[in-house]
Amino acid sequence: MEKIKLRNKRADKIVKNILLVTAVLSAVFIVIIIGIVAIRGLRPFFLSYDGATVNFFKFITGTKYYAPEYRIGYIIVNTIYVVLLAILLSAPISVLTALFVAKMAPKFLSNFLTTTIEVLASIPSIIFGMFGKGYVVILVRNFADKFGIVTAGGQSTIATVIVLAMMIMPTITMLSITAIKSVPEDMEHGSLALGASSTQTMFSISLNAAKPGIFAGIILGVGRALGEATAVTMVAGGRGSGPTFGLFGTTRTLTSTILTGINEANLGSLEYDIRFSIGLVLIVVILVVNLILNGVKKRLGKYYEKS
């Protein structure tokens, strides 16, 4: 008996340690990722490639990105601008759809829409990109032609915004549905009892109470939009200079810059390593945006706790 107990204890310990190792390894990956991107990405600023070192300040600000100058200032502005517009376009539609599904629609319609949204959420981004390049871009081009606006074949800011909006809509919708559904029924019953119409209740009460959850959905959408690479590259146009605010001008984002021209860059060259620097900037941008948005969300939550 004692021997078995001892053997079991040892076996337990070994297994426990193996599992501990795998868990630690899994957790370590995030460190590796950030570490590598940081190390490789900081190289262009400190080492010299055939005599060229990139000045960090010039890199961050500045409005031109074509060799030998690598200035991504305008790209950062473009990225944020494009994502902002995508949110402005998709958030209202998503929230209204969520309200419809959660409160207004009869059961079969509700299920149908939920399935539609789930299918949209599972479509890989490359297919959105293909749809964008083969259809949205052409729509934009035809639309612009009618008004005499010049476009580079349709690849433009507006096309990028539309594609991004399509991609993040399911995310925001699904989380909003959950948020709206979890509003306590007492609040709604109270409102109805006080004489408000059901529509009024839905908009003023349910929607407002679900704000933190909806906002969480928006934050997730923003994260996805900031990080989207292949779809954006196919519709943005790859512009070499200046922030683009006009809807029909070509643009580029941080992710599309990392992706473009990857086949030609020689391993270990400045061309190649600068992408890591851009990746580093991307991570920082995502972090900062998330922090800001989460801060806003907390204040929203506090506001509702008080009342």
Q: Answer yes or no whether residue 47 interacts with another protein by CB under 8 A.
A: no
Q: Is the omega angle on the peptide bond into residue 106 within 30 degrees of 0, that is, cis?
A: no
What is the C-alpha separation between 208 and 214, in angstroms, rounded?
A: 9
Q: Answer yes or no whether residue 79 interacts with another protein by CB under 8 A.
A: no
Q: Which is nearer to another protein, 1 or 186 (CB)?
A: 1
What is the C-alpha separation between 254 and 74, in angstroms, rounded?
A: 10
Q: Considering only 51-59, 177-185, 186-194, 241-249, which stretch makes contact with another protein by CB under 8 A? A: 241-249
**Contacts with another protein in 276-295 (CB under 8 A)?**
276, 279, 282-283, 286, 290
Q: Distance from CA of residue 28 to its chain's centroid?
A: 24
- Number of other CB atoms surrounding residue 31 within 10 Å: 9
What is the C-alpha separation between 84 and 157, in angstroms, rounded?
A: 12
Give least dist CB 261 to another protein, A. 7
**Contacts with another protein in 181-220 (CB under 8 A)?**
197, 199-200, 203
- Number of other CB atoms surrounding residue 253 within 10 Å: 27
Give least dist CB 210 to another protein, A. 14
Q: Which is nearer to another protein, 205 or 259 (CB)?
A: 259
Q: Considering only 29-37, 54-62, 183-191, which stretch makes contact with another protein by CB under 8 A? A: 29-37
Backbone dihedral region for residue 241 (phi beyond 0: left; psi -120 to 50: alpha; all else: beta): beta
Structure-token match 């995030």, residue found: 30
Q: Distance from CA of residue 229 to its chain's centroid?
A: 10
Q: Which is nearer to another protein, 55 or 269 (CB)?
A: 269
Q: Which two tokens stand for residue 99?
A: 């309200």
Q: Which two tokens stand for residue 139?
A: 């729509």
Give least dist CB 170 to another protein, A. 7
Q: Answer yes or no whether residue 122 interacts with another protein by CB under 8 A.
A: yes
Q: Answer yes or no whether residue 268 interacts with another protein by CB under 8 A.
A: yes
Task: Check residue 214 and report its DSSP letter.
Answer: H
Give least dist CB 207 to another protein, A. 11
Of these, 47, 262, 288, 292, which contacts another protein (CB under 8 A)?
262
Give least dist CB 301 to another protein, A. 12
**Contacts with another protein in 145-164 (CB under 8 A)?**
147-154
By CB under 8 A, the count of residues binding another protein is: 114
Q: Which is nearer to another protein, 187 or 220 (CB)?
A: 220
- For residue 77, the number of C-alpha atoms closer than 13 Å in the C-beta half-sphere is 15
